[in-house]
Chain A
Amino acid sequence: MLAQSCFMNGLDRMPSAPATSADESHEVERFLREAERRALRMAEFSTGNRAEALDLVQDAMFGFVQHYAARPAGEWPPLFWRVLDSRINDWHRRQRARGRWLGWFERADDDGEDPIAAVPDLGEQGPLARLADGEASQALELALRALPLRQRQAFLLRLWEGLDVAATAAAMRCSEGSVKTHLFRALGNLRKYLEAYR
């Protein structure tokens, strides 16, 4: 995994002496500082609420430090995103239980759509091409929020976070085939939502 190997290359430049606990804490802090903003945005796309997203990220940080910070640094990225994904899933379950889940967010992944119809036409410039940056950002955020949870997570972890298929599958606790399916559908749905954006 390139992301992990880059991170490990950084560690390789460190002195060969055994790391002290202070060094380890510094490395963990650096890792969390690198990831926290994207983690917040990821949680925010799912909750639609910054305060709740901050709570989820804080929970994820606590869980990661408590359970996984002692693991080798190369294993941290999928583990951290796995903890956050778990927190986001829990949040969704709670919301469903409370009946506050909006109907149009609740689209099931297997909604009977023809997957071939979602294949993008690579000859087009793409749905964001006609939008200015501010407008495109808003359109993208709305489109991401409209995606089913698993599709959104596959898109964000795989393409934004840069995890490979295996690491994304580990983070989402599903098979690599499921990751590919979720990502394929996410790209198709995002394109559809963005094209419909006015």
Chain B
Amino acid sequence: MNNRPNEPSRLNEPARLGEAWVERAVALLDESTDALDAATLSRLNRARQAALAQRRPALSRWMIGAGFAGAALALLLAFGIGQRHTPSPAGAPVAIEQVGDADALASDDNLDLYENLDFYAWLDAQQQDGNG
């Protein structure tokens, strides 16, 4: 097969060496590739296709991964939009509720409550015993 992109280089180099027999040797080598039998060419073709096939699964896996990531992102967006447009049971705006939660968490009173939970539980138990 002599239709190679680097043909000029191959012909020039032996000529540059000034040895005609090297040029003939290169021509004979080229002829030997043209003389390969069909079974060998078929085997070469299958080997090439098998080598190239290892790239295709990699692309497919990449595309599958990208598809899953896209679907997950779409679900997250849909869930977020759904949450934003769902009216709260009390009819209060969600943003205000969230601000209220933030205030409650930041309150010093609530911090004291959390630190003394055991005491309040004991107090509650004492009161229930007293009532009973």
Contacts and interface: CB of A to CB of B under 8 A. Distances in A.
Decide whether A and B assemble into one complex.
yes
Interface of A: 1-4, 6-7, 10, 21, 25, 28-29, 32-34, 36-38, 40-41, 50, 54, 57-58, 61-62, 64-66, 69, 77, 120, 122, 125-129, 133, 136-137, 140-141, 156, 158-162, 164, 187, 190-191, 194
Contact of A62 (B6, B24, B51): B51
Interface residues of B, number: 40
User: Which residue, B3, B12, B22, has most C-beta atoms of chain A within 10 A?
Assistant: B22
Contact of B26 (A1, A66, A160): A160
Contacts of B59: 21
Contacts of B110: none
Given A127-B21, A128-B25, A2 B48 contact: no
A65 B53 CA distance: 9
Interface of B: 1, 3-10, 12-14, 17-22, 24-26, 28-29, 31-33, 36, 40-41, 43-44, 47-48, 50-52, 54-56, 59
Nearest to A77: B6
Mostly, the B contact residues are: helix
B43 to A, nearest CB: 5
B5 to A, nearest CB: 5
Contacts of A120: 19
B28 A136 contact: yes
A162 B43 CA distance: 25
Contacts of A159: 10, 13-14, 17, 22, 25-26
A62 B50 contact: yes
Contacts of B48: 29, 32-33, 36, 61
B44 A57 contact: yes
A37 B1 contact: yes
29 contacts: A2-B6, A3-B6, A6-B8, A28-B55, A34-B3, A36-B44, A40-B33, A40-B40, A54-B44, A57-B44, A57-B47, A58-B51, A62-B51, A65-B51, A65-B54, A120-B19, A125-B20, A126-B22, A127-B21, A133-B28, A133-B31, A140-B28, A141-B32, A160-B10, A162-B6, A187-B17, A187-B19, A191-B21, A194-B21
Nearest to B43: A54
Given A6-B8, A54-B43, A161-B6, 13 more contacts: A7-B6, A32-B51, A33-B48, A40-B36, A58-B50, A62-B51, A66-B54, A136-B28, A158-B13, A159-B22, A160-B29, A161-B10, A187-B19
B120 to A, nearest CB: 66
Given A34-B5, A40-B36, A29 B25 contact: no
